[in-house]
Amino acid sequence: MKSTHFIFLLSLTLFFSCEKEGETPTDPVEDDFVPTPTTTVLKAGEFTNVAHKVTGKATIYQTGGTKTLVLDPFTTENGPDLYVYLSSDTKASKFVSLGKLKSTNGKQSYEISSDTMLDDFSYAIVWCEDFSVNFGNAELK
């Protein structure tokens, strides 16, 4: 009887400790980035699936001296520790991180550092840092 109680308590402990900690928020976001009449499109591309389903469009805008990556429309399957990268290839051999993915769906923007040379990067990638996995990428042209 004691072993049954022990197994039950162990099961409960494991169940509650195995929550999907670190997963990206799933509530839709609606970023307030709006191109102005002086905003130019520098690069854009459609997401394609790699290890997981990712859909939508990635666009790099420039307004004055500020460059911004906008994902809109955008959805991805969830996972732990998802980030947005600009990368030279689909394996993230050379990349710059733009930060944690804000949500698995909805319009979202990421400011690109002024010292980032866009000619060095051909892809926007949703990257899982925990497992070094490319969820999906958009080739930027």
Residue 69, token pair as written in the block? 């990556």
Q: What is the pLDDT along the chain (141 residues), one digit of tens a residue?
A: 555 444 444 333 323 322 355 789 999 999 999 999 999 999 999 999 999 999 999 999 999 999 999 999 999 999 999 999 999 999 999 999 999 999 999 999 999 999 999 999 999 999 999 999 999 999 999
Q: How many residues does the chain have?
A: 141
Query: Phi/psi of residue 132, each to 5°?
Result: 50, 55
pLDDT of residue 3: 54
pLDDT of residue 1: 54
Q: How far is CA 86 from CA 2, 70, 123, 124, 141, in A?
A: 55, 12, 6, 5, 13
pLDDT of residue 23: 87
| The model's pTM | 0.84
Handedness of CA 90, 93, 98, 104 (dihedral sign): positive
